Amino acid sequence: MTPSLPDILRGHLVVLGTPPPPEASGEFMAGRLGILGLLSVLAAQEAERGCAARVAENAAIRALLARAARFDDALDGRLARAAAGVDDDLSWTALDLANADLRRQLIGLHEAVEARGDAALDDAILALYVEMARLRRLDLATALEE
């Protein structure tokens, strides 16, 4: 799971809101500040490209669902409905809700594709999973260097 910006900011709150133990020394506080710095760099990465990644991912899933129309009868027309969707609301919450629904449809399609043995569409779905992971990637190495 790649944390979303709200998840990372909640992490900030936990770090800031947890009182240190009475015996905490400078090392404890330095570690806590290090965690806050790391979370801040990850939050900056997510803020920079998170919305664009969700829009691109949703569009890619919709395109693949539209391409798989031959499976729609087995899935009660859900693919066509999902493929016809549009991301009008670009808030994190709306994009994540749409993405969760699209991913459920993609999983259902993938199950149907595997059951039928459609190797070409299975490969396309697997390639989409790789692209989805790439779009959502947060670079921890960059965060540790800064």
Average pLDDT over residues 38-49: 86
pLDDT average, residue stretch 38-52: 87
How is the chain split into domains, by residue range?
5-145
32 and 14 in contact (C-beta within 8 Å)? Answer: no
pLDDT tens digits along 72-124: 776 677 888 888 999 999 998 899 999 999 999 999 999 999 999 999 999 99
How far is it, in rounded angstroms, from Cα 81 to Cα 62? 9
pLDDT at residue 2 is higher than 80: no
pLDDT, tens digit, for every residue of 13-41? 887 777 777 777 677 777 878 888 888 88
Residue 143 reports pLDDT greater than 60: no
